[in-house]
């Protein structure tokens, strides 16, 4: 599912954005990637979906050897992934339903399927009545749920969600966690990046902990050597 072996990522102004990371996430897991701001969570995700290349090390995601993936193969990797970005990346001039439809069209879905699947996804996150709203007309929690609907509409094998409860009340955060649990029950592996220790304490799950680019803790039983 995910395997990283001795992965490092250096930026010009941060030589150790990630340093010597070895970890494995198995199919079906729901796991937190925890770490304070700047720990390297978003960078780690970018390596996994081939937005950035590692400076060293090997990465496999859903059978793709990501660190060496040719640019023209990247769309095939991305088709197996659901991505919830830290900054959401919703299209501001498109309605909620259009945001989802656009993601489907990019992936080459058939015309007839797009509307049906988009409506289903909206219903699934409880936004069926908000489909014609622009993102700016939605609350923070609704925007987050829209980003999740877009990420799961194609039934990804692996969902990477970056700080999906970042700016939300505890009630809205709980709704989001419940959604991810539902996705996980459908068989999608979920990795949820968060700096929020309260969240991790309230809804405990297996976790990977990053600190200043280094792996501090990988408590999930199947992780690391001998696991």
Ligand X SMILES: Nc1ncnc2c1ncn2[C@@H]1O[C@H](COP(=O)(O)OP(=O)(O)O)[C@@H](O)[C@H]1O
Between CA 68 and CA 66 the distance in angstroms is 5
Of 2, 8, 40, 177, the residue at the interface with ligand X (CB under 6 A) is 40
Query: Quick check: 166 binds ligand X (CB under 6 A)?
Result: no
Q: Which residues lie near Mg ion (CB under 5 A)?
A: 41-42, 86
Of 29, 42, 62, 184, the residue at the interface with ligand X (CB under 6 A) is 42
Query: Quick check: 76 binds ligand X (CB under 6 A)?
Result: no
Query: Quick check: 17 binds ligand X (CB under 6 A)?
Result: yes
Q: How far is CA 93 from CA 15, 99, 115, 119, 133, in A?
A: 38, 9, 18, 19, 10
Between CA 177 and CA 74 the distance in angstroms is 29
Q: What residue 126 binds from ligand X, Mg ion, none (CB within 5 to 8 A, per partner kind)?
A: none
The CB-of-14 to Mg ion minimum distance in angstroms stands at 13
Q: Is the dihedral of CA 219, 223, 226, 227 positive or negative?
A: positive
CB 159 within 8 A of CB 188: yes
Q: Which residues, 6+ apart, have CB-to-CB distance to 12 below 8 Å?
A: none
End-to-end CA distance of the chain: 15
| Candidates 41-49, 70-78, 93-101, 198-206; binding stretch for ligand X (CB under 6 A) | 41-49
Q: How far is CA 158 from CA 15, 75, 91, 202, in A?
A: 29, 15, 23, 23
Query: Quick check: 145 binds ligand X (CB under 6 A)?
Result: no
Of 8, 29, 43, 143, the residue at the interface with ligand X (CB under 6 A) is 43
The CB-of-22 to Mg ion minimum distance in angstroms stands at 21
Q: What residue 38 binds from Mg ion, ligand X, none (CB within 5 to 8 A, per partner kind)?
A: ligand X
Query: Quick check: 37 binds ligand X (CB under 6 A)?
Result: yes
Residues that bind ligand X (CB under 6 A): 11, 13-14, 17, 35, 37-43
């Amino acid at each position: 599912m995910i395997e990283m072996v001795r992965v490092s990522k250096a930026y010009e102004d941060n030589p150790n954005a990630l340093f010597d990371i070895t970890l494995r996430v198995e199919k079906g897991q729901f796991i937190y990637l925890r770490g304070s701001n700047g720990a390297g969570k978003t960078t780690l995700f970018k390596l996994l979906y081939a937005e950035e290349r590692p400076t060293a090390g090997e990465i496999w995601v859903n059978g793709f050897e990501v660190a060496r993936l040719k640019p023209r193969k990247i769309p095939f990797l991305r088709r197996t992934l659901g991505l919830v970005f830290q900054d959401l990346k919703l299209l501001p001039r498109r309605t909620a339903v259009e945001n989802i439809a656009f993601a489907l069209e990019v992936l080459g879905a058939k015309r007839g399927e797009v509307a049906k699947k988009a409506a289903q996804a909206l219903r699934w996150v409880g936004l069926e009545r908000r489909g014609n709203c622009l993102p700016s007309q939605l609350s923070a929690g609704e925007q987050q749920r829209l980003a999740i609907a877009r990420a799961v509409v194609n039934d990804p094998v692996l969902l990477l969600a970056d700080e999906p409860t970042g700016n939300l009340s505890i009630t809205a955060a709980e709704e989001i966690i419940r959604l991810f649990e539902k996705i996980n029950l459908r068989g999608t592996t979920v990795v949820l990046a968060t700096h929020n220790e309260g969240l991790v304490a309230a809804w405990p799950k297996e976790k990977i902990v990053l600190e200043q680019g280094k792996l501090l803790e990988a408590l999930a039983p199947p992780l690391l050597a001998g696991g």
